[in-house]
Chains A and B, each alone.
Chain A
Amino acid sequence: MTTIPNRHKTGPGTTPPWWFAAPAMLLFAFVVLIPSARGVYYAFTDWDGLSPDFSWVGLGNFTDMVDDPDARQAIWHTLVIAVAITVIQNGFGLLLALGVNTMIKSRNVLRVFLFAPAVVTPIVTAYLWRNLLGPDGAVNSLLGAVGLGGWRQDWLGDPQLALWSIVGVIVWQFGGYSMVIFLAGLQSVPKEIYEAAAIDGTGPVRRFWSVIRPLLAPAFTINLMLSIIGGIKLFDQVYALTGGGPGHATDTISTLIYKDAFTLGEFGYSIALAMVLTIIVAVASTSQYFVLARNERAAA
């Protein structure tokens, strides 16, 4: 998008007053900024969420975390989920987008239907899948019906599998979301470029890699950001599918924050976990932003 140069930098009375921003900034401060700042402070205390008496424990919560296998596991699960979703969901979404962005007759209908799961409430799809993935659920029934009875599993009850089942549910729900963003990117590629490449005799793989992929850079940036940050913060689906179980096999940082605060009353420790989550999100989003922005410039 080209920016139109401002001819009158300081036109007569055209700079809007700062107080236009006041209502938004006050709401934002009340809901996000002030509580977050207090959160950072509480992370270094043993606050229980109720009593006004609490004491400063320095890095105590963080050293406890190092010794807490549940916390270490939850951090690990969170990273695994975020990376797995980012790779699988975007791979799937990209294939869907390339398939839909062709001459096939059903392309408009497919686009609408494949995107539909993304607007449904995640907790609803998670409860649906909790049943489908059960020992007597539809997934196992279907495997039996097509002669793959040997593949039947307790998808959510097996600690080795449960995390991957959650990833599968999320890919099912949001693959269409990635697709829509890739499609918008593909449709911004001028037709002449495809045709020129086709006339030059480049094969489909080569055409994708050296012609289309660079032009999709902005779509990649948005998709990767959305899926990695969504994956890191994941709560609803885990809560509804497994509740973090079996045992702690699928606990993420967010489910552990919830449990530690509301079932154990360890608010200080819980907020320290939220700090770790914040740091991971900040590192992931800024580093991704810089890497992808560099690639976008290189592709431009």
Chain B
Amino acid sequence: MNRYRWRTLGLEMVMIAVAVVVAFPVYVLVNLAIRPAADTSSPIRPTTRPTLDSFTQAWQEGGLGGALVNSVLVTALSVLVVLAVSSLAAYPIARATAKWSRGMFLLIMLGLILPFQLAALPLYQTMRDLGLLGSVWALVLFYSGLQVPFTTFLYIGFMRALPRDFEDAAAIDGCRPLEVFRYVVFPMLKPITVTALVLNAISVWNDFFTPLLYLSGSDQQTVPVALAGFVGQFVSDWNLIFAALVISIVPILAVYFALQRSIINGFAGGLKG
């Protein structure tokens, strides 16, 4: 059964054909982005006169540079905060047997189910009253809270399967609880931290609904909001729009292909947790 046969070759061809079909939109994306704006031939015909004009124009007019900086900032800070507070919170919730620990666990479970749409409008009002609309800092605060249930849940599941012996030994040796967490528990959480990092970073980076609500009408933008504004402005100037889309995709795909193993394992990681 472990040999490469004719049937395996057939399967290989079919799978590659499927991959080509899946990749087809990316071909059209690049093809349209690099062809001259005047070229109105069929979008599937490969261009003979590639140009970077659309890219320079999209970069200059789309405010993408600022949006990329904001997106990086918001993603990095939110993920840092959410990993720190969630791993710390999961520790007592996973270990303690008291009523409050059970109560917090149930709240976390509730948080997993509640769709953000329910909280979105009241929170919009609160943010407005606090003068936080239109600020990327508000987004950091927002994601730090929004991602807590999911992240804490991942940590609790992982931590419950870890032995307590190391913690006990460290405590007997005179470590205070925070030191036990910092030097003993947190290093053991590394696999689930990688998973949580990947999943949080991608969902924060890709989120559109929240910045659409909380940043609209301001000059502060994240990449998805900047793109939506760009499409609204250049309605059917698709060469330009596609160039902007390519600019926004390149950083994500670069990170993805560089770290593909950890990223794919991160996505599949929930299964083992």
Q: Give A residues with C-beta under 8 Å from B.
A: 1, 3-4, 6-9, 11-18, 20-25, 27-36, 38-40, 42, 49, 96, 99-100, 102-106, 110-125, 127-129, 131-132, 136-138, 141-142, 145, 172, 175-177, 180-181, 183-185, 188, 194-195, 198, 218-219, 222, 232-233, 235-236, 239-240, 253-254, 257-258, 261-262, 267, 270-271, 274-275, 277-278, 281-282, 285-286
Alpha-carbon gap, A138 to B27, bound state (A): 10
The docked-state distance in angstroms from the alpha carbon of A238 to that of B220 is: 24
- B:60-98 near A, CB below 8 Å: 81, 85-86, 88-89, 91-93, 95-98
Complex CA gap A172/B15 in Å reads 15
Asked whether A180 lies within 8 Å of B264 as measured between CB atoms, the reply is yes
Can you give 6 contacting A-B residue pairs, CB < 8 Å? A18-B101, A102-B11, A141-B44, A185-B271, A236-B209, A277-B118
Q: Annotate B242-273 by CB proximity to A: 1 below 8 A, 0 otherwise.
A: 10010011001100110010011001101110
Within 8 Å CB of B209, what residues of A? Answer: 235-236, 254, 258
Dominant secondary structure at the B interface: helix
- Are A128 and B242 in contact, with the CB atoms below 8 A? yes
B:89-135 near A, CB below 8 Å: 89, 91-93, 95-98, 100-101, 104, 107-108, 110-111, 113-126
Known contacts A131-B238, A222-B271; is A116 also within 8 Å of B253 by CB?
A: yes
With A38-B122, A112-B264 as known contacts, state yes or no: A96 contacts B202, CB within 8 Å: no
CB-based nearest B residue for A40 = B118
A258 to B149, CA, bound (A): 24
> What's the Cα separation between A270 and B125 when bound, in Å?
14
Select B164's contact among A6, A175, A181, A274, beta carbons within 8 Å: A6
Contact A121 B208 (CB under 8 A): yes
Give min CB distance, A173 to chain B, whole Å: 10
**Given contacts A138-B25, A222-B270, are A121 and B118 in contact (CB under 8 A)?**
no
- Other A-B pairs beyond A3-B160, A128-B29, A236-B208, 18, CB < 8 Å: A8-B164, A14-B167, A14-B168, A18-B101, A25-B148, A28-B145, A32-B116, A49-B124, A103-B2, A105-B12, A111-B264, A142-B24, A180-B264, A188-B271, A236-B209, A277-B115, A277-B117, A282-B113
Contact B43 A138 (CB under 8 A): yes
Given the complex of chains A and B, what is the CA–CA distance between A110 and B13 in angstroms?
Answer: 12
- Residues of B that sit less than 8 Å from A by CB: 1-4, 8, 11-12, 14-16, 18-19, 22-25, 28-29, 32, 42-44, 81, 85-86, 88-89, 91-93, 95-98, 100-101, 104, 107-108, 110-111, 113-126, 141-142, 144-146, 148-149, 152, 160-165, 167-168, 171-172, 177, 180-181, 202, 205-206, 208-209, 213, 223-224, 227-228, 231, 238, 241-242, 245, 248-249, 252-253, 256-257, 260, 263-264, 267-268, 270-272
Say whether, besides A18-B101, A141-B44, A142-B44, A120 and B249 are in contact (CB < 8 Å). yes
- B residues within 8 A CB of A40? 118
Q: A18-B92, A21-B89, A123-B228 are in contact. Are A36 and B181 (CB under 8 A)?
A: no
Which B residues lie within 8 Å of A270 (CB)? 121
Chain A hits for B271, CB < 8 A: 181, 184-185, 188, 218-219, 222
CA distance A155 to B148 in the complex (A): 39
How many angstroms from the CA of A157 to the CA of B92 in the assembled complex?
54
